[in-house]
Amino acid sequence: MSDLLAGGGVLLVAAASAAAILLPPGRRRSLAILLAIALCPVLIAGDQWHTQQIADLRHDGARIAALVAIAAASIALLAAGFRRWPTLLPLAVVAALPFRIPLHAGGDTANLLVPLYLVIAAGAVVAAIRDWTPLPVGQAQPAGALLWLPRLLAAVVLLYSLQTLYSDDFSKGLQNVCFFLVPFTVVYGLLREVEWDRRLLTMVLWVVGVEAVLFVLIGSVEYATRSLFWNDQVIRSNEFHTYFRVNSVFWDPNVYGRYLALVAVVATAALLWVRERRSFWLLTGLIAVLWLGLVTTFSQSSLIALLAGLAVLAAIRWSWRWTLAAVVVGAIGAVLVVTLVGGSGKVNFSRINIDTSGRANLVSGGLALFGERPLQGYGSGSFQEAYRDHRENKDVPVSVSHTEPVTVAAEQGLLGLAVYTALIVVAIWTMSAGLFSSRAGPARSAVLAAFVALLVHTMSYAGFFEDPITWVLLAVGASLAAAPAVRESA
């Protein structure tokens, strides 16, 4: 009975989150949003009821009461602020994106996006209150790509939830749905309706710029003192390397590097169109600081992502033909270096696997899993269990393939790959419509370049749907594409 309820709950919460972005503003949408937000913690608690972490909480009533009271007070305070000053909602979402809070229970620690979850809950309450008042009929409906983007996002959530039902690791799939897909779908719905004018976009740039500088300062202290705040795995790794990787307030240096690379792309977009001398030097200084921070992460995937984002900006600002030629020449040069290094003239796959921290083996193993179940895959969230059960090297620590398309292929098969590919195509189509023209501006250019950079990063580090930045970029990109005035003036 519990399995039936859990499976039904996953499908119900997925349907509610899909309705939250497909239904027009009104009471039905408000109910869908509240249902999606309310069901997620219930499903998580039910799935983890007998684990040591939840068991400790169940026997500590005072702690539960304190956590609930703090959460309720925080949501109420944020909701009041968002109702009084609507601009605070998008700024709070953007500001909360990097922060994960370590929660200790049962001798284990989970790093959760607690600040973002509180902001989402408060935003959902405000949206529900606003939607409960009927709006005038006859509102214009989005067309073309703007119509298909939310449909494909809803399809992603629904398909992923369906494929948890036969997953080799149902619990992992359920957690991904409740911790990532459902709340981030609500984020998309909340931000899609925001009017991203020049003032708000400038404030967002200030928020991410100031936060990134603070993160770099913290990372610089780590680098100077040769000590990290957390993540024992990276700490042990630094002891055996000649270089020292920092992670600042992030758990993983690659995630830290990803964030810095994305902010650098956004800042560069603003720099390419800036007219004021003061803004020029501020942006130049910001990019220099971000570059210094990025170097200390030693994240190859983040550097490649940064190059990809800059290439998109060059194509928009100057010439896509010359940019494409430069990218092709650079790619050929990189292949030649990898092939000819050491003078053998042959590709050294074992060396590539070492240089990529074992990711080459994960990719090959993931492709093998896809070959065994090409249509439906092994189920959502199952990569770790399927890899251990069906690969020869069962002792390799693994959670994902570190290559998003491979993870999708192994877990969701051709069905998941089709929806994943369609979403990327429609997203880029939506964000790039009309950009390669004389009226292109920094706002939409920044969003498209950041999205491409993030997409490239997930080719070597995964985390596409599980990163809230993906959903924020999709929402902002869709909103800007639907607002020609912003596109021309901001």
* Last residue in a domain, options 154, 171, 192: 192
- One domain for residues 149 and 243: no
Q: Please count the CA atoms within 13 angstroms of the CA of 40 that sit on its side-chain side.
A: 25
Question: From CA 158, how far away is CA 375, in angstroms rounded?
Answer: 17
Asked whether residue 355 is domain-assigned, the answer is no
pLDDT tier at 395, thresholds 50, 70, 90: low
Contact call for residues 298 and 253 (beta carbons, < 8 A): yes
Question: From CA 171, how far away is CA 303, in angstroms rounded?
Answer: 34
Percent of the chain with pLDDT over 90: 46
Give the per-residue SS3 of 183-251.
HHHHHHHHHHCCCCCHHHHHHHHHHHHHHHHHHHHHHHHHHHHCCCCCCHHHHHHHHCCCCCCCCCCCC
* Last residue in a domain, options 156, 175, 192: 192
Asked whether residue 138 is domain-assigned, the answer is no
- One domain for residues 74 and 166: yes
Burial class (CB in 10 A: 0-12, 13-18, 19+), 402: buried
Contact call for residues 417 and 293 (beta carbons, < 8 A): no
Asked whether residue 159 is domain-assigned, the answer is yes
Asked whether residue 412 is domain-assigned, the answer is no
Tokens representing 136 are: 């005038």
- One domain for residues 29 and 155: yes
- One domain for residues 127 and 34: yes
- One domain for residues 164 and 227: no
Q: Give 343's DSSP letter.
A: G
What Rg value do the Cα atoms of the chain yield, rounded?
A: 23
| pLDDT at residue 304 tops 70 | yes
| Closest among 67, 55, 40, 56 to 175, alpha carbons compared | 40
- One domain for residues 72 and 202: no
Out of 100-109, 327-336, 418-427, 460-469, give the one with best mean pLDDT.
418-427
Out of 316-320, 324-328, 451-455, give the one with best mean pLDDT.
451-455
Asked whether residue 269 is domain-assigned, the answer is yes
Asked whether residue 352 is domain-assigned, the answer is no
pLDDT tier at 183, thresholds 50, 70, 90: very high
Question: From CA 470, how far away is CA 217, in angstroms rounded?
Answer: 25
pLDDT of residue 278: 92
Question: From CA 321, how far away is CA 487, in angstroms rounded?
Answer: 23
CA quadruple 52, 54, 57, 58: dihedral positive or negative?
negative
Question: From CA 296, how far away is CA 302, in angstroms rounded?
Answer: 11
* 26-38 pLDDT per residue, tens: 888 889 999 999 9
The tally of domains found in the chain comes to 2
Tokens representing 81 are: 């602020």
CA 311 to chain centre: 21
- One domain for residues 86 and 29: yes
| pLDDT at residue 107 tops 70 | no
pLDDT of residue 394: 52
Tokens representing 55 are: 């068991």
For residue 104, report the phi and psi dihedrals to the nearest 5 degrees: -105, 130
Q: Residues 236-262: what's their mean pLDDT? A: 86
pLDDT of residue 462: 72
- One domain for residues 25 and 120: yes
Q: What is the mean pLDDT of the chain?
A: 84
* 28-77 pLDDT per residue, tens: 888 999 999 999 988 988 887 777 767 777 777 787 888 889 989 999 99
- One domain for residues 100 and 243: no
Contact call for residues 188 and 21 (beta carbons, < 8 A): yes
Burial class (CB in 10 A: 0-12, 13-18, 19+), 401: buried
Tokens representing 26 are: 């009104």
**Higher pLDDT, residue 248 or 262:** 262
Contact call for residues 157 and 14 (beta carbons, < 8 A): yes
Asked whether residue 372 is domain-assigned, the answer is no
Axis crossing angle, helix 198-225 with helix 88-96, rounded to the nearest 10? 20
- One domain for residues 79 and 225: no
CA 402 to chain centre: 14
pLDDT tier at 138, thresholds 50, 70, 90: very low
Question: From CA 68, how far away is CA 361, in angstroms rounded?
Answer: 44
- One domain for residues 331 and 261: yes
Q: Residues 429-441: what's their mean pLDDT? A: 78
Other beta carbons less than 10 A from residue 294's beta carbon: 23
Residues 6+ apart with CB under 8 A from 282: none
pLDDT of residue 417: 94
Least confident of 118-127, 324-333, 432-441: 432-441
Percent of the chain with pLDDT over 70: 85
- Concatenated DSSP letters for 45-84? HHHTTTSHHHHHHHT-HHHHHHHHHHHHHHHHHHHHHHHH
Question: From CA 470, how far away is CA 477, in angstroms rounded?
Answer: 11
Q: Residues 431-456: what's their mean pLDDT? A: 86
Enclosing domain of residue 69: 2-133+143-192
- One domain for residues 84 and 213: no
Asked whether residue 416 is domain-assigned, the answer is no
Kind plus residue range of the DSSP H or E element containing 12: helix 2-22
